Amino acid sequence: MKGARDYNKRILMTKRVRVFYAGRVQGVGFRMTAEETAQALGVVGWVKNLRDGRVELIAEAEELQLNRFLEALRTGPMKNFIQRIDVTWSHASDTFDEFEIRYY
């Protein structure tokens, strides 16, 4: 039974963020920076360019890890390219095994 409790506790603590970054965020290494940062922090999900010039990111991890991840992107080498950040929090889907750059 302990294993089930641990699994349920992990699921309850895991969160998801959907983030839209606007500014000059395409063609400057933003997706690669997001991927490297996510992998270093144990965050899973994906990042992709949108046709309207924004970048969309879906990430899942424990809330503390996600906050560190978002802060690293906001204050790191891409900070001068970001003009607006829209973040939506929700429950994790637990469907990702890694963080990747998507091209579709």
Label residue 104 by pLDDT band (50, 70, 90).
confident
Q: Which of 18, 49, 68, 74 is catalytic?
A: 49
Are the CB atoms for 80 and 30 separated by under 8 Å?
A: no
Q: What pLDDT does residue 12 have?
A: 52
Give the span between the Cα atoms of 83 and 104, in whole angstroms: 24
Label residue 5 by pLDDT band (50, 70, 90).
very low
Give tens-digit pLDDT for 23-76. Answer: 999 999 999 999 999 999 999 999 999 999 999 999 999 999 999 999 999 999
Catalytic: 31?
yes
Catalytic: 74?
no
| CATH topology (fold) of 18-101 | Alpha-Beta Plaits (3.30.70)
Give the span between the Cα atoms of 17 and 6, in whole angstroms: 23
Give the span between the Cα atoms of 61 and 14, in whole angstroms: 5
Query: Does residue 55 or residue 6 have the better pLDDT?
Result: 55
**The pLDDT of residue 6 is above 60:** no
Q: What pLDDT does residue 77 have?
A: 94
pTM attached to this predicted model: 0.87
Query: Domain segments of the chain: what residues?
Result: 18-101
Q: Which of 18, 24, 31, 51 is catalytic?
A: 31
Strands (E) across the chain are located at 14-23, 44-49, 55-62, 82-91, 99-101
Give the span between the Cα atoms of 48 and 64, in whole angstroms: 23
